Amino acid sequence: MISAVSVRVLHLSCLTLLTLLLAACGGGREPVVRAAETPPVRNVQRTPKSKPPKPLPAEDVLFGLRSVLSELRACLTEPGAIRLQWRVDRRGNPTDFDVVWSEQPESQVAPCLTAIIAERSFQLPDGQQAGIASWTFVRDLKTATSRSGRATGTRRARNHGVQFDPPGRLDADEVNGVVEGGMRLYAHCLRAAVERESSVGGKLALSWLVDEQGRPSDVADAGSDIGDQAVVDCAAECFYALEFPEPSGGSVKVTYALLFNED
């Protein structure tokens, strides 16, 4: 049997335990919920995002490539073109090559081009820490075709000027200004030809499409008779580097003829 004293001690122990539990739980009262402390407001300055590098002027890109252009065109394995883009760091070294578009087998042509360009050095404009360079390389420029699918240009009049095909529209004076402003680019093509032979002359006729952003594409031979395919290909590369006004009414096809060394 359990003695009376033992029972009383057990009873007190249970009361003591119950009292402790109620105290831990708040004594049966609703718990007090404290509001979370508001963190102090700090004036955090965000690090500005770095702006993407600016494109290098076409003349600066050509200046860096001019002595190896024949080697670069030799990388192209079939008629057509390929456009490459790369980054130029602050020391003028080319890195991060990308193929923008290609009519060539990229797995063969792109490695050949990048290996040669990687050995070149490019000059950045004053104050510029990096830049984006791009160039289109052309081999055996394709011949322009009419809407009927026939080749055009060989019967075209030997005029010096510009012609447009709808639906888009461009101002002829603005196009003349862009083409004349790029003379320093394709003058390099003529100088290189003169170094190969004593006399180079004739008509350079090209056609190209100007899209809604003023970018040229689909450059083609519209009846050139210079007689030096390297000059035509070189000039086409330079026309890919031009920037035209945005046409109204959609893209527009432009045909342009230039006469060199003719009386």
CA distance 206 to 144: 8
List pLDDT tens digits, range 130-139. Answer: 999 999 999 9
pLDDT in tens, 84-111: 999 999 999 999 999 999 999 999 999 9
Listed residue (162, 180, 158, 181) closest to 171, CA to CA: 162
Mean pLDDT of 7-12: 41
For the whole prediction, is pTM greater than 0.85?
no
Q: Which of 116, 140, 164 is the last residue of a domain?
A: 140
- Same domain, yes or no: 148 and 136: no
| Residue 176, domain extent | 141-263
Instruction: Give the chain's domain count.
Output: 2
Six token digits for residue 241:
């580097």
pLDDT at 30 (0 to 100): 53
> Residue 17 domain-assigned?
no
Q: List CB contacts of 226: < 8 A, sequence separation 6 or more.
A: 193, 200, 201, 202, 203, 204, 232, 260
* Confidence category of residue 157, pLDDT binned at 50, 70, 90: very low
Average pLDDT, the chain: 81
Q: The domain spanning residue 235 has which CATH number?
A: 3.30.1150
Is 10 within the bounds of a domain? no
In a domain, 127, yes or no: yes
Whether residue 262 lies inside any domain: the answer is yes
In a domain, 18, yes or no: no
Q: Is residue 95 part of a domain?
A: yes
For residue 204, the surrounding DSSP H or E stretch is: strand 202-210
User: 196 or 4: which carries more pLDDT confidence?
Assistant: 196
How high is the pLDDT of residue 201?
Answer: 78
Q: Quick: pLDDT tens for 190-238.
A: 888 888 776 777 889 999 999 999 999 999 999 999 888 999 999 999 9
State which of 140, 157, 180 marks the end of a domain: 140
Position 231 in a domain: yes
Q: Please check whether residues 96 and 146 belong to one and the same domain.
A: no
pLDDT of residue 10: 40
Domain boundary among 114, 140, 166: 140
Instruction: Tell me, yes or no, whether 135 and 183 share the same domain.
Output: no
Residue 127: how many CB atoms within 10 A of its CB?
A: 5
CA angle 162, 168, 172 (to 5 degrees): 30
Q: Which amino acid is at 133?
A: A
**Section 24-45 average pLDDT:** 53
